[in-house]
Structure 1
């Protein structure tokens, strides 16, 4: 499925509203992961990026890229949407870094160009993983790392479309997960645990860890309604994969 045109149209349309609503949360501090803004200092996913060549897949308004550039990384921010890249350019600040418009499944970089490729609900949520993961592996140097945070299949399987919230009841077939229909005929992607392992293995990546970020009981979800409000304290809402190219 070619989801690029529809996904680009969607993000161009919603970029301004999305950044207005979510930038205060995403940009509140450097290195905050996911729907619950859990600090990387607690999860230990990225480590020291000083002097490393880093690619962010789906950089949005550049909250992550901006922070890592300020830490001394040689960052490239990539996004499918020109509206998102325009937001990143406006917010860039003194630590300058290049912005590239492209799809995660069609990376315009030479092989072995980066030490770290990462995303937080970016390119690996909005591009077919069986196409995007091999591209990420291709542009990684030997010993380089692919680190990414995506929705847990259980979070999506418990999403009640009619109530527009995540519940404690299974709403759809776990084995039917893959493509998720979004507004404007756009598509996002949620894989089962087994499918993620197969995609990563087929790209010759080694899985070093799978972190299931667990927020404190009172931590709100910044993007979705959940019942109970502390749903993600009891069940995994997100999967943070730590992998490397041997």
Structure 2
């Protein structure tokens, strides 16, 4: 909870520059996952969203939400940052959807409200997972799904802070990955594989798949420098979790 005001300040400060740098890439086509813009059509993580009530957990400027609203989903976007929500509101077209300011740790929605909760480096990268995952599970209807993409522990453990790039050398201990200081009290979060499993199962979710998106050789990382350039073709840079709240018949 202590990171909420600091993370809000950070994203209010960097929102404009972030969108200038990344909006064209994130919104280049519908449903592009992560640092390497891997199409969901190749991964089949979300499925058909037509008519479903969908929550984007940390919607930023709403590139994903706009795409899913255009497909017929009943989307709600939530974000901690007013500046990010202003960017989302400014970019809305004909397919409008509600925007809510709030934290993934304290979702302001009733139980059993959504068929799908998802994020792509959103709320589950910038909120403590042991708090945010149970909140996401709470607002899911029976049979609803939580689908989210985060950095892999490999990527974080190989990140050289001094050089500001990902390398082939382990820089941090794998065990003990948790909060990552982002400056001025802001914090992002990283877990080991085992800790993710425990958090998800502890929230009563069933893990249907763990996709490790693998970009083609030559695909550039839009956010980080990597050495070698084909780092994510050789090792998993991201984890795309596909989970669900069990139905009443399970």
Fold-level similarity (TM above 0.5): yes
1:185 Cα deviation from its structure 2 partner: 1.8
Tell me the residue number matched to 2:221: 221
Q: Tell me the alpha carbon deviations over residues 116-168 of structure 1, each in whole angstroms, 9 at most, x when there is no partner.
A: 00000000000000000000000000000000000000100000011000000
Q: Tell me the alpha carbon deviations over residues 8-47 of structure 1, each in whole angstroms, 9 at most, x when there is no partner.
A: 0000000000000000100100000000000000000000
Tell me the residue number matched to 2:235: 235
Provide the secondary structure at the position in 2 that maps to 1:187: strand
Q: Tell me the alpha carbon deviations over residues 62-114 of structure 1, each in whole angstroms, 9 at most, x when there is no partner.
A: 00000000000000000000000000000011100000000001000000000
Residue 33 (structure 1) aligned with residue 33 (structure 2): yes
Tell me the residue number matched to 2:64: 64
Matches within 5 A, 1:25-174: 25-174=25-174
Mapped to 1, the partners of 2:94 and 2:190 lie a distance apart of 36
1:176 Cα deviation from its structure 2 partner: 2.2
Mapped to 1, the partners of 2:99 and 2:223 lie a distance apart of 26
Tell me the residue number matched to 1:212: 212
RMSD: 0.5
1:2 Cα deviation from its structure 2 partner: 1.6
Provide the secondary structure at the position in 1 that maps to 2:208: strand
Tell me the residue number matched to 1:193: 193
Mapped to 2, the partners of 1:73 and 1:172 lie a distance apart of 41
Mapped to 2, the partners of 1:198 and 1:7 lie a distance apart of 25
Mapped to 1, the partners of 2:92 and 2:30 lie a distance apart of 14
Matches within 5 A, 1:5-44: 5-44=5-44
| Count of paired positions | 246
Provide the secondary structure at the position in 1 that maps to 2:78: strand
Mapped to 2, the partners of 1:218 and 1:109 lie a distance apart of 42
Q: Which runs of 5+ in 1 are unaligned?
A: none
Mapped to 2, the partners of 1:161 and 1:104 lie a distance apart of 27
Mapped to 1, the partners of 2:185 and 2:24 lie a distance apart of 28
Provide the secondary structure at the position in 1 that maps to 2:106: coil
| TM score, norm. by length of structure 1 | 0.99
Provide the secondary structure at the position in 1 that maps to 2:226: coil
Mapped to 1, the partners of 2:2 and 2:92 lie a distance apart of 31
1:184 Cα deviation from its structure 2 partner: 2.4
Mapped to 2, the partners of 1:28 and 1:14 lie a distance apart of 21
